[in-house]
Amino acid sequence: MGVNLNCVLLIDDDNITNFLHKQLLSRTGIVHNIIAVETVKEGLDVLTKNQGCENPELIFLDLNMPGLTGWDFIDEYKIIKLRCGIKSRIILLSSSANPADKKKAGDIEEVTAFLHKPLTDSMINEIMNKYFSS
Amino acid sequence: MQLWNKYKQLVHSNILSGLDHEVMGLSYWKDRLFVRIMIYLFPVSLIALLPSVIMSIISGVPFLAVIDILTSLVILIIAVHPSLSLPLRKSLLIICLYFLSIALLLYLGSRGPGLLYLLTLTILITLIFSVSVALLSIAINIVIIILAALLIHFKLFHTPLTHIYSLGSWIAVSSNLVFLSAVAVASLRLLFNGLEATIFQADKLQKQLLEESNALQRAFRSMETKTQELEQFAYIASHDLQEPLRTITSVVDLLEKEYKDRLDNGANIYLNFLSQSSGRMRALITALLDYSIIGKEKKMEFVSCNELLQQVIADLPAPFNNKTHIIVNNLPLLPAYRVELKLLFQNLISNAIKFRTQNNQFEVIVSAEENSDHWKFSVIDNGIGIEARYHKKIFGIFQRMHPKSKYEGLGIGLSHCRKIADLHGGEIGVKSEPGMGSTFYFTIAKTKTLDGS
């Protein structure tokens, strides 16, 4: 499999999860640029401040984070989307199976999918086939 | 006086024995009224009896005297006989009084109180019986009047009535009785119906209220059980989870000690992650366990908050463990859970230290304010402050505002504080702005006794 995606953004407050997800994505060799951040604020900075990845095709977003949560990120993202015309797919990665969260995610247009941590090879394959096959 | 009380008690228990009114409705009050009438009727009738008897004998109508005496006797029997049923007592009284009225009517004519008695009887019947019986009594009055009219017209036998009245004058006089009886029954009926509606409405409301309060109590009990179950669950879950976790951490420790040199760089990174994660998990589970245990062994005692704060300050790490940094205004002596209250202050002050700014000289002010039903404590710091949107969230369990890399912590301290304030029947909250420091306040409900009630 060659390089399919230019940039993927990982937002998770747990550095170990970020490390593992980054490893996993690098191994598949489908992503050119992987950026991992530990806070929502840093994630928003990636989208708005020129860091070489203003328009990631895919954002893996953790929900439960200290301070600003994944939900807050989505709210800010909606504004940035209108202003800058970026278009990313957001995949929520939750460590809990709270049905209320899943339902809430289903009602948000910007959210592509709601998955459980951690990412696996088969999950990546499925995501690529479902959303990024030409 | 003692005799009178005994007599009253006797009549009361005689007449109302075996009666049980579920709702204190109209029929209940009618029966009570009957009892009251029966208590006073005999003694009062004695007052009327003596002059009547004397006058009857002087006027040459001894028969009337006999009827008067008989009536008083019957009244006495109705009042004191132990085993008559209530409707029978009522009926006997009415029949007896009707006889008296008719006799008075016949022997005394308009000079006597015969018509007055008939009117009084109808009112009495309306008071102690139902409306239909009252209507019947009007009908009986009419029949008596008609019979008297026939008597007057055909002069069937000689009574004062036939001497005094012509048919026309009798009809004129007696029609007043019919009119007055009808007015009396109609007005009393309106009054009674209204009263009865009000009584039943009140009773219905009372029953509804009782039902609602019962439902509320049930809900409260079920909530209490659920809370207990939840606490138990947290306790058991965290306790049992610790077991396998201990094994994991032990194995990871052994692996690190014995194989560190033989593993390559990547494996060592993974091992480090394992050790970090299991350590954090152990801390989280311990915190959860602590949370579920809070208040389990609570003991209410008089706590000197000044002394408590001195202990808390002494336990702090240097350089914070002195009075230049932590100012304690005069605090009260109050009934509280000492161990828990100390934990609350410890948490708030440790937070103040943890989230201090580098620019300001670190300072915390602890004070208390007395209100009518509670004490309000404040812990004011000059730290980094908290955005308004997090003011509620921070008291949730495992809620953290900062990434681990910036501020260590599990996000459990303030949820402990909230639970402790809750134990004391109080509330906890914060007033803060970023950069402006924070004021954490909590309340402790005043209790009169040491068992917390």
Q: Which amino acid is at B280?
A: R
E strands, A4-128, where?
Answer: 5-11, 31-37, 58-62, 89-94, 111-116
Predicted local distance difference test score (pLDDT) of residue B23? 65
Cis status of the peptide bond prior to B62, with omega within 30 of 0: no
- With beta carbons less than 8 A apart as the criterion, state whether A119 and A94 touch: no
Name which of A65-69, B106-110, B243-247, B374-378 the model is least confident about: B106-110
> CA of A113 to nearest chain B CA: how many angstroms apart?
25
Q: Please give, rounded to a whole number of angstroms, the shortest distance from the CA of B406 to a CA of chain A.
A: 11
Q: What is the CATH number of the domain that holds A105?
A: 3.40.50.2300
CA B322 to chain centre: 51
Q: Provide CATH code, domain B300-445.
A: 3.30.565.10
B400 to chain A: which residues are within 8 Å by CB?
66-67
Rounded Cα gap, residues A37 and B391, in angstroms: 25
Q: Count other C-beta atoms under 10 Å from residue B148's C-beta.
A: 23
DSSP letter (8 states) at residue B362 = P
Flag if B400 and A67 touch (Cβ within 8 Å): yes
Helix (H) or strand (E) holding B370: strand B364-370
Judging contacts by C-beta atoms under 8 Å, the chain B residues touching residue A20 are 273
Q: Do A38 and B405 touch (CB under 8 A)?
A: yes
Distances (CA, A) of B228 to A77, B132, B232: 42, 61, 6
3-state secondary structure of B379: strand
Average pLDDT over residues B295-302: 86
Q: How far is A17 from chain B (nearest CA, A)?
A: 10
Quick: pLDDT tens for B93-143. Answer: 889 888 888 888 887 766 667 788 888 888 989 888 888 888 899 999 899
Nearest in space to B397 (alpha carbons), one of B287, B315, B316, B304: B287
Rounded to whole angstroms, how far apart are CA atoms B167 and B46? 35
Q: Is the pLDDT of residue B364 over 50?
A: yes
Over the stretch B28-52, which tens digit does the pLDDT of each residue have? 888 888 888 888 888 888 888 888 8
> Cβ separation of B390 and A67 shorter than 8 Å?
yes
B307-318, pLDDT tens digit by residue? 999 999 988 888
C-alpha distance from A104 to closest chain B C-alpha (Å): 19
Write down the ipTM of this complex.
0.74
Which DSSP helix (H) or strand (E) runs through B301?
A: strand B300-304
Q: Token pair for residue B296? A: 């389990």
The residue segments making up the domain with residue A40 are 5-131
| pLDDT mean across residues, chain B | 87
What gap in Å lies between CA B288 and CA B339, rounded to an integer?
A: 18
A39 to B403: CB separation less than 8 angstroms, yes or no: yes
pLDDT beyond 50 at B453: no
Chain B contact set for A38 (CB, 8 A): 403, 405
CB within 8 Å: A15 and B405: yes
Q: Using the beta-carbon criterion (under 8 Å), do B403 and A19 form an inter-chain contact? A: no
What pTM does this model have?
0.62
Say how many C-beta atoms besides its own lie within 10 A of residue B216's C-beta: 10
What is the total count of domains within chain A? 1
Which tokens in the block code for residue B365? 């002010």
Cross-strand pairs, B432? B438
pLDDT band at B145; cut points 50, 70, 90 = confident
Say what the pLDDT of residue B310 is. Answer: 92
Residue type, B295: G
Closest-CA residue to B421 (of B380, B382, B378)? B378
B418 against B240, higher pLDDT: B418
Residue of B nearest to A42 (CA): B403
| Signed CA dihedral, B245, B247, B248, B249: sign only | positive
Would you place residue A59 in the very low, low, confident or very high pLDDT band (cuts 50, 70, 90)? very high
Structure confidence at residue B387 (pLDDT) = 92
